[in-house]
Amino acid sequence: MSNLELFADSEISTLYFEEQAAARGCQAVAGVDEAGRGPLAGPVVAAAVILPQDFSLPGLTDSKKLSEKQRDRFYPVIREQARAVGIGVASAIEIDRLNILQATLLAMQRAIKRLTEVPDHLLIDGITPLPLQVSQQTLKKGDSRSLSIAAASVVAKVVRDWIMYSLDKQHPGYGFAKHKGYGTAEHRRAIAELKPSRHHRASFAGVREYLHG
């Protein structure tokens, strides 16, 4: 019985979609995910990860379900064992200019272009395909269903957190290191008191109200 048959009528393997693509002849399957669509400040960061066929990392799943300590432990393992990792960033300015969906897709495309291997199939978290001439599949809650996407979600989240730690040092007072730009009560109070920084998303409610006056 093949792996595909084994999981056809039972719980889906975390490598199920990668195995499906491999069965069709794909040799470089990249999982793609992002971090930072919802915050009021900072960039959106995407990652693309191509894993080896025998990759195993017990406990790896959607980065949102992991603690910061777990993510920090998984990150170097992914970077060391992955066949290729690409990271793409879209700034707050690009988010305001394009809208958050289009900026996210741009960050994903940048991540894919930075892979050292050219992927022949993409597994993309979400429901929106990328405007690229490459085989691809979108997966709702893909970061909980595909090991490659889960790995990409961890890479994107860890890198984005690093960026927010850096922005916290550059712009003290907003609490970026603590809330990572999300719209907590503490962050909203800081925006009201200090006015938005250049890294805040001017098009987002919670920021635009404080841009003038």
Q: Where are the domains positioned within the chain?
A: 3-169
Average pLDDT over residues 1-27: 67
97-135: per-residue pLDDT in tens?
999 999 999 999 999 999 999 999 999 999 999 999 999
Q: Residue 212: its pLDDT value, please?
A: 79
147-169: per-residue pLDDT in tens?
999 999 999 999 999 999 999 99
37-67: per-residue pLDDT in tens?
999 999 999 999 999 998 999 999 999 999 9
Q: Residue 4: its pLDDT value, please?
A: 34
User: Above pLDDT 70, what percent of the chain?
Assistant: 93
Average pLDDT over residues 70-83: 97
What are the residues whose beta carbons fall under 8 Å from the beta carbon of 160, sequence distance 6 or more?
35, 36, 42, 43, 44, 45, 180
For residue 106, CA distances in Å to 78, 163, 181 come to 23, 18, 20
Query: How far is 31 from 35, CA to CA, in rounded Å?
Result: 14
Pairing of strands 29-35, 121-125: parallel
Q: Residue 58: its pLDDT value, please?
A: 92
93 pLDDT tier (thresholds 50, 70, 90):
very high
Q: Residue 34: its pLDDT value, please?
A: 98
Is the CATH number 3.30.420.10 carried by domain 3-169? Answer: yes
Average pLDDT over residues 183-205: 97
Q: What is the pTM of this model?
A: 0.93
